[in-house]
Structure 1
Amino acid sequence: MGKLNGLKRHALNAAILAGIILMTVSVVSSADMKLTVQVTEPFEVNGVVHPAGTLQVKTVRDYTPTQTINELWLAGDCLGYIIAHKAEAEVTYPVRTDTMFFTRSSKGHLVLAGYVLMTNDSSKLFRYQHQVKADGWNAGILEPEPVFIAGSLR
Structure 2
Amino acid sequence: MSFKPTALICQSHTTSPLGDVLLAATEQGLAGVWFVHRQEHLPDSSQWVTDNAHPTLMAAATQLREYFEGQRLTFEIQLQPAWGTPFQRAVWQALQRIPYGYTSTYGDIARDIANPKAVRAVGAAIGQNPHSIIVPCHRVLGANGSLTGFAGGLDRKKHLLALEAARA
User: Which structure carries more helix by proportion?
Assistant: 2
* TM-score bin (small chain): under 0.3
**TM-score (ref. length: structure 1):** 0.25
User: Which structure carries more strand by proportion?
Assistant: 1
**TM-score (ref. length: structure 2):** 0.23
Query: Based on CA coordinates, which of the two structures has the bigger radius of gyration?
Result: 1
